Amino acid sequence: MNVQDREQFDDALTWIERAKIVVADVESNGLRHRRNHYPISFSVYLPEFDKSFNFPFRHGEGEVEVHWSASNPAGTDFAEANWSGRAKKCMYLGYWFKKWAADVDFKNLPSTWLEDLKAVWGLPGVTYIFHNARFDLHMLDAEGFPSPDKIEDTMMALHLVNEDWGGMSITAPFTWTLKDKSRGLCQPGQVGQWATLDGKLMTKRQKGNRRLKWQAALHGFDGATEGETALHKAVMRFEETLTEFALLHPEDPYNKGLIQKKSNKIRSKIKLDKKANMWMLPSSEVAYYAELDVVLTWKLREWCMPILADWNNLELYENQNAVLYEVAWRMECNGIKLNRAHAEEELAKLHPMIEDLHWAINKKVFKIGAHVKLKEFLNSSVLEHEWMGEWPEWWPGNKKVDLKIYPGAYLSSTNKESLKDYDDHPLVRMIVEYRKLKMSADTYLTNWLEAADENNIVRPGMNPDGTNSGRFSSSGDAGNFQNIPDRGGYTIKRALVPYDPSWILFALDYGQLEARLAAWVAETLLGFGNLEMTMLFENGVDMHVYTRDIVNIREVVYPGMTTKQILTKLGEPLDDKPEALLAARCRGMGKTMNFGLLYNGTEYMLSALLKIDKETARKLVYTWRELFPAFAKAQAYFEDLSLTSRGMPNAPEKNAKYITQPISGRHRKIHRYPTWVTFYENGIRKGFNPQEAASRKTWNNVPQGLGGYLCTVSGLKANRLYDNDELRFFANIHDALDGFVNRDNMPIIKNVMSIMIDWDIRPGLTVDLSGSKDGTWQGMSEVKDFDLWCDSKGKEGYD
DNA sequence: GTTCCCGTTGGATCGAGGTT
DNA sequence: AACCTCGATCCAACGGGAAC
């Protein structure tokens, strides 16, 4: 029911007050919660009473996002807009919508009633169910709604039902796409609509996805497609309405140059995005859709539960919902503060430099970033080109010397690794520098400035269901917080700082977490080998040094060469401690071996990574496998197990192919991958078995996913112990938790560390604390003296 | 009115960057 | 190996203007 008057409203509230389960969904006028977007309506479904309500508050309020371009730069007067090309839909739409909306009844409820709705929201003991909870939670929280006691997310359920929806093909209903239109399969007006034949949904083989409507259609829920269809019709009607309105105003300067065209030209300029522009529609047009949303969410949840029960994953589902709500969402709410001045300062420094390099390369040689052209250039004899660099003024002197040309050069890729072979060429030096500067400026600093809210807080998106293995992923308009560069001359993390001086920045990193877990699973749980790696960990041996020395990397890779010869070959400077330098380099190679060979690494991989020939790599692999026999066996074990069809944990009569992660009980299921797909490469038909490919990764998924699980569940335990006044995590970076602790509560970190390692695993886990010497996220270094670190409020105790 | 060329768009794709 | 984002290129669609 689309609630429209006080009587209906009061009645709806009494039902909500009595409900123990509330399925909820928020429609908004954009995605940027806590900045310029906000809820327009709230929908709930109360499964106990089979009642659904829609509360419209702000239909008609919002801004059409205008994408300005080079020919229509920001600030262009509407009457002077350039109309060439297909674009300007959004500009046109926004302009006419504003005029049209001036005297339209959107059928909203008075905004003062919002407070009454809040009063019955988040009551004790009530579970709220969402589809993609983090979005709705942010919208509700920003609007001032109380936080629910407990939540469930059907996206989380789907992730447990099948970790890799995108990776498998499923026969399912579909909506027409632009591509279908261009192929003549459907009419232009049908794009975005469910494909039907004689009133029945058509199906086709396609990649799976977790969209609510798609899932509902896939499982054949009643009303799965009705809401979409109704909304589609409403949108089409609305587009017609706006077109007519525009046509009724031929004198309007904005129609200059357009009005004499046929009306369908104008009609084509008015194109609503169903989701993004929903706020433009009066609530009466949208309520049906919005209410169906919550009903379908409930149906989806009911569909998932028995499956989760069959898989013995009900407890994990509850646990992961808690991680989602109490860890991931809390991280997103916390965020980190952007030192705007520093970010702007950094950008002001970078932009002219980027410009200079752009100019120098662009004008003289080719468009920068054109990898094809760059490759052509480097592959040709142009490397002997007379041009040897026209350096920008600021270019450091030491980078102007020792230049080289490379006659007859050849390279197959233009990535950093390949360019390294030509790094004394002036052009290559400038390209490498350009890419680095551009990366800092665009991917990170600019985005943060854009994404920060009024208090200069940037919030990373932390996705608990972002990966197949169970790790978190990170995305959103503040970018990926799991890959911000902090080494190799980057200083951009300096722009990220504590909220205020009462907060101390810290990071808790597990020590070699994945290797320890792999050793535990392979050597203890499966009993392969003789606890070789486990014992080394327990005796505190440096694993990489051990591998280096036992395998004798130096003699195998560089037989009979002197230290000086090897270092020269490696391109290392010959300083006063050549032996130590060589030892460090060989330890690095030991590390590469340990990490690569723990899983499915081969001599091909090793020879590529270490840049050695295949024969030498084969020798190294052989010796390593002798040394740690458990891991190749674990690989074979999981590969084999995952290809064996057998009963599901709580439903022995139902068969599936899967492996199970210890502790969490999370499964990696591969029976739904196809066993054979074909594709064309250079006109030749080739075959590929996705199921076998997935089975080869299952061993890797076990320690990797388990690591993510231990880290985030430890975070959950810590978060339940300490509230937001004391402890604020803001990111999970796979095997690390980054956050802030209040300066008066610093000793609690000791307890958080013991929570993190409190898992019944052999070898035991270790965790290292890092603090920030300079107070920014850039300057993290290991804390050696915990008490001093606490006493000095994070200023000392590092070394 | 038709044809051609050019410039402006946006979508798809590719390849690069970075972290663990 | 996984993840996410950005930018360049290619491509196709389309508008506008010139030439016919």
Q: What's the distance, Cα to Cα, between the start and end of chain A in Å?
A: 65
Summarize the confidence of residues A730-746 as an average pLDDT: 92
Footprint of strand B on the protein (CB under 7 A): A 67, 69-72, 82, 84-88, 178-179, 371, 375, 413-417, 419, 435-436, 439, 443, 480, 482-488, 490, 733-736
Using DSSP bridges, classify how beta strands A473-475 and A461-463 pair: parallel, antiparallel or unpaired: antiparallel
Distances, alpha carbon A604 to alpha carbons A37, A415, A607, A619, in Å? 51, 20, 5, 12
SS3 letters across A152-173: EEHHHHHHHHCCCHHHCEEEEE
Distance separating alpha carbons of residues A494 and A475, to the nearest angstrom = 20
What residue type is assigned to position A164 of the chain? D
Q: Is A87's pLDDT higher than 50?
A: no
What residue type is assigned to position A561 of the chain? M
Q: Is A72's pLDDT higher than 60?
A: no
Q: Is A88's pLDDT higher than 50?
A: no
Go through the domains of chain A in sequence order and give each one's CATH number.
6-168+208-310 (3.30.420.10), 340-455 (no CATH), 461-513+704-791 (3.30.70.370), 531-628 (no CATH)
A 10 A CB-CB count for A590 gives 23
Summarize the confidence of residues A105-116 as an average pLDDT: 93
Strand C lies under 7 A from the Cβ of residue A449 = no
Distance separating alpha carbons of residues A724 and A732, to the nearest angstrom = 17
Residue-level pLDDT at A386 = 47
Q: Which residue has the higher pLDDT, A391 or A381?
A: A391
DSSP per-residue codes, A417-461: HHHGGGTTSHHHHHHHHHHHHHIIIIIIIIHHHHH--TT-EE--E
**% of chain A residues with pLDDT over 70:** 79
Instruction: Report whether A241 contacts A266 (CB < 8 A).
Output: no
Protein contacts on strand C: list nucleotides below 7 Å from a Cβ: 1-10, 12-16
C1' of B14 to CA of A65 (Å): 28
Q: Is A629's pLDDT higher than 80?
A: yes
Give the residue carrying structure tokens 């709500």. A325
pLDDT tens digits along A448-486: 888 888 899 988 888 888 888 888 888 877 878 888 887
Summarize the confidence of residues A429-441 as an average pLDDT: 76
Instruction: Report whether A401 contacts A365 (CB < 8 A).
Output: no
Summarize the confidence of residues A365-387 as an average pLDDT: 57
Instruction: Grade residue A76 by pLDDT with cuts at 50, 70 and 90.
Output: low
C1' of B13 to CA of A301 (Å): 36
Nearest Cα to Cα of residue A706 among A467, A460, A524: A467
Instruction: Report whether A160 contacts A139 (CB < 8 A).
Output: no
Residue-level pLDDT at A442 = 75
Residue-level pLDDT at A700 = 87
10 Å CB burial of residue A9 (0-12, 13-18, 19+) is middle
C1' of C14 to CA of A415 (Å): 36
Q: Which residue has the higher pLDDT, A116 or A442?
A: A116
C1' of B12 to CA of A152 (Å): 36
Mean pLDDT is lowest, of A21-30, A508-517, A593-602, for A593-602
Number of helices (H), then strands (E), belonging to chain A: the values are: 29, 25
DSSP per-residue codes, A273-321: -TTTTGGGS-HHHHHHHHHHHHHHHHHHHHHHHHHHHHTT-HHHHHHHH
- Note the helical H segments in A66-142: 89-101, 114-119, 133-142
C1' of B15 to CA of A304 (Å): 39
Residue whose Cα is closest to the C1' of B19? A483
Torsion on CA atoms A411, A416, A417, A423, rounded to nearest 10: 70
Q: Is A548's pLDDT higher than 80?
A: yes
Residue whose Cα is closest to the C1' of C2? A467
Nearest Cα to Cα of residue A502 among A793, A706, A729, A268: A793
Residue whose Cα is closest to the C1' of C16? A84
Q: Is A681's pLDDT higher than 70?
A: no
Summarize the confidence of residues A385-405 as an average pLDDT: 66
Protein contacts on strand B: list nucleotides below 7 Å from a Cβ: 7-12, 15-20
pLDDT tens digits along A123-137: 999 999 998 898 899
Distance separating alpha carbons of residues A454 and A446, to the nearest angstrom = 16
Mean pLDDT of chain A: 81
Rounded to a whole number of angstroms, the CA Rg of chain A reads 30
Instruction: Grade residue A179 by pLDDT with cuts at 50, 70 and 90.
Output: low
Distance of CA A66 to the CA centre of its chain: 26
Distance separating alpha carbons of residues A656 and A636, to the nearest angstrom = 19
**% of chain A residues with pLDDT over 90:** 33
Q: Residues 255-294 of chain A: which lie with beta carbon within 7 Å of strand C?
A: 257, 261, 265
pLDDT tens digits along A581-614: 888 888 888 887 887 788 777 777 777 777 777 7
Q: Is A644's pLDDT higher than 60?
A: yes
Summarize the confidence of residues A763-774 as an average pLDDT: 91
C1' of B6 to CA of A358 (Å): 26
Summarize the confidence of residues A197-219 as an average pLDDT: 79
